[in-house]
Structure 1
């Protein structure tokens, strides 16, 4: 009966905690941040659901240019336990005809999942705190301190899968206590393995917590502890190894995906300290008044459990103020403060034990109360607070907490729960809603800024005209996952974990501009016709006002009032064959256009034999326009000034110009670059999302005068070159491939098959399939290596004559990780049988 009451209470408190969001969703709003929430969280859930239901469990050809599901999406939802449980429920309702699993459903489900998840967090955490001889009411109050924290709802709103991390901490503590007290590691092994499968990133954070907890427990012991320290470490080590074995099938490829990702190192120094008002309006960690009071109440330190949780809490609170700690928990990258739910858990434990062990002592209470009020006055008067009304509410709640412990301690848990719920809903309304998601609603989701009917109308025209593997270059401004949202094969993607080869292909190898500088994404093909042909992307769609930037050789296919779609007059086949090979190292000093043409006329490999033909470099002069160029320094004196490039090309010339240069703004702030009618932006040097690359290559239609415009400021402008692309190479390659037999291709998730009828000796098949560890090939039934070609894509050496080629994708290290997981499963079941037969020998 007590368990039933606990579960009911957990759901009631969870519902009240989400009260404002329940109201907001009833008014047509959605619980999703306008940036990552709408750009990643919701699209990825919808995408994975559709991908899995199509049977593509390990690879998706419509994930950008194509990518492994586990390697690139395990960070999000691909191996998430909560997501898979949600998929099971949605699938059942889908079969019964009760729901339509579209994007809108996943937007609405975020609230439902959050309510259920938070209730489960309450229950698990209550059980964890009860292990320390805490009555259920006080344990539940402590669980509310943990779950009803600003970090939880912040995670739900912006990065929904982050909130799953709250589930694992209490389970880990229960598992650790079973080891220390009973000598049984079964639960800890199972929880650790599931956690490693669920999300490798938060597994790292939680395992750091495990280490901290274990170290504290070495010195803070309880009478019921039965294992000696050295025996504990033996079980910890063995459990960790067994958990790694069990999770290997998912953890290893996910970790590999993280390691092969490309992200520039942080270019600026990380400060040691960061001020934050943790008593009033921190966006990450608000310390409840009851913890402050209990931490200052000296008699509680007589209790071992209070010392344990209070000391860990004070440690985490101190670490909260250091960006270096944020960098440590973020894999030594840019500081992120996603780990601070750990502090909420230990504070919840301290509150649960403190309330349970409360004994009023006047002198100690007056000192603690005076210290609490003084701290709140100092943080309120001296600290940076968002608004006085908010500060007054927080201060009043603090006084109510102090008063309840003085006059009626039995009311303290209820005052605490009410205070947490007030702060939680206030934070939800004033910080999350008013400052971030006020416009995240049905109207916005159906607008031109995300997914309008007019855009879909034109996309449907393109999809009806396109071949099965042909791509469309289109994305809504700042929304690189538009192809996922609008369900078409595209050329853009936004994810924290991406194929590192593709990122370097964009950033360095081909210097493809993406309309803005940013890490963790690629998008568009820079309006470069050669790349459109090479990557099977014969369609280009834009707003009408930038239609002048259409790639060379593209004609209008269809248009609406605001948008226009264009189609290339010509195509290159999805699978090209060539006998011309170029050595990648020989092209290190070549221009971007030279590399592009080499990819067209042959294939760039690690080992090649042919000599590439340099692109046509042309002379040019410059004229200053509201600016002064002296050497490599350009000073722009107006809101939009710069230089005009005057190329020396024949009057009857056709084609495009490729303008390359190195640029950096000396003031260090962000800026735009306009070349002809093309506009792109660069981030401030202090931004953690900049690529730290200054070399650029921009394509522009051939003209007598090409304006290069920048905002007011001082710039370093170096190595300016202009090359002329007349597309003779492209036209020659098109003529050659048109004369060859068609190569039929079938690509279905992890399986790609094609046949080449008449291959000459030394022929390579070149595919616009991203090179990724996990692909294997068979040519006429014999194994053949899949080669990294054209920097980021794939090629296969063929035999002379007919070639039946079969490519298959499996997650990296699939055979060995599957074997390791099966071995771990066998060992785990053996351990369970051992525990059933006899008590652990260490106890």
Structure 2
């Protein structure tokens, strides 16, 4: 019994932390189970990136890992390396991999249906509570090691973990909030190294941080170096000598980096391969401030608690080393919020992003914890004076915002509890516990108020709930039934062109090989293919998305997108697709001019010899476009009929260069009377033109014969800067090009008429018997004997793709047709296997394993027992 009592006493703080971790989610859990139908089953997932990226990617990766596919699949958008490209999200994410261990156990023991978005939406609550426990625990450990008593250390951890910033990060981009774990853990590990000479925890913290997310590892590197340098320059008496601290920290960081190599290297490689356009907008040094930029009130991202203001105006406590340190860090980082330059710096000198604010949340939480722990040492006069700036700031905030938030009424109550401690100069247990409870309630109220106003607003709650994700706005039973039916109709290797509304990751959560993707990291070759080489113009401009092929039959056939599904009211079906099934709501179309999955040709075209998208399409249909072999063919350019058409303006003025569109919209009409005598059958028009909006700065729409193309405003962070555009339209006597009102630079560059005779010839000449078999991590193509020469398959080529024949061994895979994989087949090959391993994967894995072994040897030099003791010691 005594042992049990001792065990309970030792674990009481862990139990408190566990209760607080659940309690911090009271508001979001209430929104999940609230009796009001309008608030029922609201998931802790944003309706935009949450439902469109986070949940589909979690589901997709789990299914891939479960089936044994580790790196590459043709159903990852157009196909590609999801291990590398999704490292920014979850593929190497430590928290995610811990999560899916629990998920797989639950699936095995309890039969969870893990193949639905609904499951992963509910799972978000579970993993967030576990993360919050870890955040409070590691903040508690850090605060204890710098001398804060346990009760206040837990309070500091709770203020950090239950902050509005945590919930904003978690709801919109769940992997963002992982960094809330790594920051206190990193500083705790640094303190263990600098005080006690124990580098073990620091080694593994560096490794885990780098493995978990390379992007936030950059943030962690900055703040870790800053903190370490400050601690070295302003050394405390009981710290290690500077030279010894450096001798421990540098090899520890190197070993930690070595352990992370198998994940970090490939994540960075994916980021560098991403086509990140240069942000051309001038960044001001000081931002133009508005009501929502007030970090003390209802800022959209962060709320600095009034206790931090009082702490900053309590100079008597500045004589304490860590109090002064975190007061200065809090002040400096509060000033940083005023400058977009800082946002740019923390975002790798790209467009400004406010993702570093979690540091300020942590600094002010640590400051508050120390302030509360030292209240009894604060003179009454100082305490009262420190209340004045609080009421000035909050009063001005109410006046500017013209509204009062609910948590304002708790400010004087919390202050009164603090006043009792200050007045009595003692820490009586009932008063301490009352203050602690009030601080917890106040923190939760601030967070709930912020979440209600800034996160769970109607634009989000209208969609992130159970009904929405099971509706035809996201995934209905009818939509899934039709997709499953197409999957039964199609052959392996064929793609389905379909997405629900604008959900570009529909294929991920509906389980089919599609043609769309929404991700911050997209292989640069794909972006070049769409924006530069073929100028495929998406309905909505974005650097983070691609979808479909602009109804261009040539591209559908080349990429084996032979099936599509559309709602009946939707138009813009490629001319060579025919309806095969309909249910009254959705129609399934099949390509009437398909091409073989594996295509042989002796015609080799040099990409440098091809000048326009139509010429490139025809070259791919006639042969192989590549610079891996010497070109032996020339592809004539299609006729440019621009000089044969008439151009007039309507509700606009056009001088051949500048187009000024009047109110209600206007634009240009292209007259084809001189080109055709009557409307043609399947002939289509491809129009190349340059478009830039000069004035005003706004989003605008270009409508070409009913095809609406939404373009981003000039200063948008997600603008493609692809202003040389191509539009497809059915050939008619007149084709209108309509613009929103404004002043544009418009240059008509070329007009081509496509009759698809090249596609028809290619399709009719191909009917080689072959079979495509999809294996985990590879694709097998079985062909008849006697075929040899250069071949292409519509499998995305990446460095690391290999092609092997059953007779000739390595077939020398190379990039062909901009995105595809090409290889040279031997006459004896009847089976060809395409596989992929990220470049240098086995080397990086070896470095990681060697570094891991080296870490234990290195730690043992300083005492493994001390390391373990320092990690698990309870107070």
Shorter-chain TM-score bucket reads: over 0.9
Among residues 95, 98, 103, which one is paired with 2:108 in the alignment? 95
* CA distance 1:300–1:57, shift in 2 (3 Å): same
* Residues 388-445 of structure 1 deviation map (CA, whole Å, 9 limit, x = unaligned): 2458447556755764554576344333222111101111222211254221212211
Among residues 138, 143, 167, which one is paired with 2:152 in the alignment? 138
Partner of 2:310: 293
Offset at residue 508 of structure 1 (A): 1.0
1:715 maps onto 2:748 in alignment = no
Partner of 1:612: 635
Offset at residue 123 of structure 1 (A): 1.4
Offset at residue 778 of structure 1 (A): 2.6
1:212 maps onto 2:226 in alignment = yes
1:75 maps onto 2:88 in alignment = yes
Partner of 1:835: 862
User: 2:354 is paired with a residue of what secondary structure?
Assistant: coil
Structure 2 CA distance, aligned partners of 1:538 and 1:838? 62
Among residues 60, 80, 103, which one is paired with 2:73 in the alignment? 60
Partner of 2:599: 576
Partner of 2:575: 552
CA contact (8 A) 1:18 1:425 kept: no
Among residues 239, 264, 269, which one is paired with 1:256 in the alignment? 269
Partner of 1:387: 403
* CA distance 1:794–1:301, shift in 2 (3 Å): same
CA contact (8 A) 2:795 2:821 kept: yes
Structure 1 CA distance, aligned partners of 2:814 and 2:655? 47
Structure 2 CA distance, aligned partners of 1:572 and 1:3? 70
Corresponding pairs, count: 831
Please show how residues 298-447 of structure 1 align to structure 2 within 5 Å. 298-358=315-375, 359-381=377-399, 384-385=400-401, 387-390=403-406, 392-393=408-409, 396=412, 399-400=415-416, 403=419, 406-407=422-423, 410=432, 411-439=434-462, 440-447=464-471
Structure 2 CA distance, aligned partners of 1:246 and 1:474? 41
Structure 1 CA distance, aligned partners of 2:192 and 2:10? 21
Offset at residue 528 of structure 1 (A): 0.4
Partner of 2:28: 21
Partner of 2:241: 228
* Residues 287-312 of structure 1 deviation map (CA, whole Å, 9 limit, x = unaligned): 11111111110110111121122222
Structure 2 CA distance, aligned partners of 1:404 and 1:429? 33
1:676 maps onto 2:705 in alignment = yes
Offset at residue 44 of structure 1 (A): 0.8
1:185 maps onto 2:199 in alignment = yes
CA contact (8 A) 1:536 1:768 kept: yes
Offset at residue 251 of structure 1 (A): 0.9
CA contact (8 A) 2:314 2:378 kept: no
Partner of 2:499: 475
Offset at residue 734 of structure 1 (A): 1.4
Partner of 1:704: 733
Please show how residues 234-273 of structure 1 align to structure 2 within 5 Å. 234-273=247-286
* CA distance 1:520–1:22, shift in 2 (3 Å): same
CA contact (8 A) 1:59 1:66 kept: yes
Structure 1 CA distance, aligned partners of 2:866 and 2:123? 45
Structure 2 CA distance, aligned partners of 1:432 and 1:397? 27
Structure 2 CA distance, aligned partners of 1:743 and 1:516? 38
* CA distance 1:782–1:467, shift in 2 (3 Å): closer
User: 1:34 is paired with a residue of what secondary structure?
Assistant: coil
Partner of 2:873: none
Offset at residue 347 of structure 1 (A): 1.6
Please show how residues 105-144 of structure 1 align to structure 2 within 5 Å. 105-144=119-158
1:624 maps onto 2:649 in alignment = yes
Offset at residue 542 of structure 1 (A): 2.1
Partner of 2:97: 84
CA contact (8 A) 2:614 2:638 kept: yes
User: 2:47 is paired with a residue of what secondary structure?
Assistant: coil
Structure 1 CA distance, aligned partners of 2:449 and 2:626? 58
1:157 maps onto 2:182 in alignment = no
Moved more, 122-131 or 455-464: 455-464
* CA distance 1:3–1:572, shift in 2 (3 Å): farther
User: 1:666 is paired with a residue of what secondary structure?
Assistant: strand
Structure 1 CA distance, aligned partners of 2:762 and 2:481? 34
Gaps of 5+ in 2: 1-7, 34-39, 868-875
Moved more, 613-622 or 122-131: 613-622
Partner of 2:63: 50
Offset at residue 103 of structure 1 (A): 1.6
TM-score by length of 2: 0.91
Offset at residue 233 of structure 1 (A): 2.1
Structure 2 CA distance, aligned partners of 1:197 and 1:711? 47
* Residues 442-468 of structure 1 deviation map (CA, whole Å, 9 limit, x = unaligned): 221122221223322332332221112
Among residues 505, 513, 527, which one is paired with 1:503 in the alignment? 527
Offset at residue 804 of structure 1 (A): 4.1
Structure 2 CA distance, aligned partners of 1:160 and 1:370? 38
CA contact (8 A) 2:665 2:740 kept: yes
CA contact (8 A) 1:221 1:304 kept: no
Partner of 1:633: 658
* Residues 594-631 of structure 1 deviation map (CA, whole Å, 9 limit, x = unaligned): 11111111111125232112113223112323223222
Moved more, 164-173 or 438-447: 438-447
Among residues 4, 7, 20, which one is paired with 2:14 in the alignment? 7
Moved more, 70-79 or 629-638: 629-638
Among residues 276, 300, 303, which one is paired with 1:283 in the alignment? 300
CA contact (8 A) 1:280 1:394 kept: no
CA RMSD, 1 decimal: 2.2
* Residues 524-568 of structure 1 deviation map (CA, whole Å, 9 limit, x = unaligned): 111000001000001122232233x21011111222333322111
Please show how residues 575-594 of structure 1 align to structure 2 within 5 Å. 575-587=598-610, 590-594=611-615
CA contact (8 A) 2:414 2:439 kept: no
Partner of 1:810: 837
Offset at residue 517 of structure 1 (A): 0.4
* CA distance 1:464–1:299, shift in 2 (3 Å): same
Among residues 180, 183, 186, which one is paired with 1:172 in the alignment? 186
* CA distance 1:576–1:376, shift in 2 (3 Å): same
Structure 2 CA distance, aligned partners of 1:839 and 1:51? 40
Structure 2 CA distance, aligned partners of 1:510 and 1:628? 30
Partner of 2:668: 643
Structure 2 CA distance, aligned partners of 1:594 and 1:837? 67
Offset at residue 670 of structure 1 (A): 1.1
User: 2:125 is paired with a residue of what secondary structure?
Assistant: helix
Among residues 764, 768, 771, which one is paired with 1:735 in the alignment? 764
Structure 2 CA distance, aligned partners of 1:468 and 1:802? 20
1:595 maps onto 2:616 in alignment = yes
* CA distance 1:759–1:498, shift in 2 (3 Å): farther
Moved more, 256-265 or 535-544: 535-544
* CA distance 1:495–1:129, shift in 2 (3 Å): same
Structure 1 CA distance, aligned partners of 2:338 and 2:352? 11
Offset at residue 822 of structure 1 (A): 2.0
Structure 2 CA distance, aligned partners of 1:691 and 1:698? 17
Runs of 4 or more consecutive aligned structure 1 residues displaced over 6 Å after TM superposition: 837-840
CA contact (8 A) 1:291 1:351 kept: yes
